[in-house]
Amino acid sequence: MRNRPVRIAVASGKGGTGKSCVTSSLVLSRDEVIAVDTDVEEPNLSLLLGHELAPLKDVEVLVPRIDPSLCSACGKCSTYCLYGALTQIGNVPPMLNKTLCHNCGVCSTICPESAIREVPFKVGEIRSYDSDKLKIIEGRIDIGTVNSVPVIKETLETASSIGEMMVIDCPPGTSCPVVASIEDADFVLLVTEPTPFGMADLEMALELARIMNKRCGIIINRCDLSEGNVKGLAEKYEAPVLASFPFSREIAESYARGISPVKVDSLWSREISRVWNFLEREVRS
Residues that bind another protein (CB under 8 A): 13-17, 20, 40-42, 44, 47-48, 80, 82-83, 99, 102-106, 109-110, 141, 143-148, 171-179, 183, 195-197, 200-201, 204-205, 207-208, 211-212, 225-228, 249, 252-253, 255-258
* SS3 state at 265: coil
End-to-end CA distance of the chain: 11
Where helices occur in 176-244 by DSSP H, the ranges are: 176-182, 196-211, 230-236
Minimum CB separation of residue 71 from another protein in Å reads 19
Question: Which residue lies nearer to another protein by CB, 128 or 145?
Answer: 145
Question: Which residue lies nearer to another protein by CB, 205 or 233?
Answer: 205
Question: Which residue lies nearer to another protein by CB, 92 or 146?
Answer: 146
Beta bridge partners of 187: 8
Q: Residue 237 gets which letter from DSSP? A: T
Cα(181)–Cα(160) distance, rounded to whole angstroms?
A: 12
Minimum CB separation of residue 222 from another protein in Å reads 8
Question: Which residue lies nearer to another protein by CB, 21 or 34?
Answer: 21
Question: Which residue lies nearer to another protein by CB, 172 or 279?
Answer: 172
Dihedral of the CA atoms 164, 165, 169, 174 (nearest 10)? 120
Sequence-ordered list of residues with C-beta below 8 angstroms from that of 210, at least 6 positions apart, any chain: 237
Minimum CB separation of residue 130 from another protein in Å reads 22
Minimum CB separation of residue 180 from another protein in Å reads 9
